[in-house]
Amino acid sequence: MSNSTLNIIKIGGNVIDDDIQLEAFLEKFAAIPGKKILVHGGGKIATRIAAKLDIEAKMIDGRRVTDESMLDVVTMVYAGLTNKKIVAKLQKYQCDAIGLSGADGNVIKSVKRPVREIDYGFVGDILADSVNTLAIKKFLDAGFTPVFSAITHNGVGQLLNTNADTIASALSTCLSRLYETSLIYCFEKNGVLADISDDNSVIESITAKKFEDYKQKGIISDGMIPKLENAFDAINKGVKSVYIGNAANLHLFQQQKFGTCLVNK
């Protein structure tokens, strides 16, 4: 493994939807030294544009159903409008970014999610060997900062809408074979909270053992459970550490004071 470090940062949709927050976040992201990757979703922009085109946006349990028409919209918005706006703003801060979907350079392949109780349409699931780490390494070694949209492909010409959290996790686990990798999830909360009603009740560090204890006591519940399960899965597969915190505080990451740190001890 190379001695180089790599930070993979995923930015949530609520920040993308707010131009002021996004600008502030990207300035902080650009200031992080060394090799880094940004992963983003699409926020609510795709839903707004779909409405203008008289295309109905369908959501089930917070997950987007992507039929053929919606796939066109999310591809235009995620891999086009949103991705290129982010790349252009990063150039403003002297961060030489390059916007990518999974199809570009064949960097991330996925498979269409099988239909079980629900047909999610053209949604991609990433397999363990689906990330082209050597291609991504070429971008990083050339001095570029890859910016990944939430669009992948199946290798035979079909684009697929793919969860951005999943893309960030897959990138971190695969690239941890080449770099000492940290994964940072940025969203609107200050971290994992001991009291959901108190934004200052951040749990600074969580081990797998503590996570099980917090679940049993109900301190960690609902949507935070799968997020942390995915995070510990990444740690078990070689990722050095996972951070979860507020996008506005990303500048504190270099001082290791950012949000909640998940570690394997």
CB 91 within 8 A of CB 97: yes
* pLDDT at residue number 3: 52
Question: Encoding tokens for residue 62?
Answer: 């917070």
In single-letter form, the type of residue at position 224 comes to M
Rounded distance, CA 240 to CA 246, Å? 20
* Ranges of the chain with pLDDT below 70: 1-3, 265
Q: What is the pTM of this model?
A: 0.93
In single-letter form, the type of residue at position 102 comes to G
Question: Encoding tokens for residue 34?
Answer: 């060394």
From the list 79, 19, 23, 81, the residue with the least C-alpha distance to 52 is 81
Count other Cβ atoms within 10 Å, centred on residue 251.
16
Q: Where in the chain is the domain with CATH 3.40.1160.10?
A: 1-182
Cα separations (Å) of 172 from 65, 163, 262? 26, 15, 14
1-182, superfamily in CATH? Acetylglutamate kinase-like (3.40.1160.10)
Is 42 marked within a binding site?
A: yes
* pLDDT at residue number 265: 67
Is 64 marked within a binding site?
A: yes
Is 14 marked within a binding site?
A: no
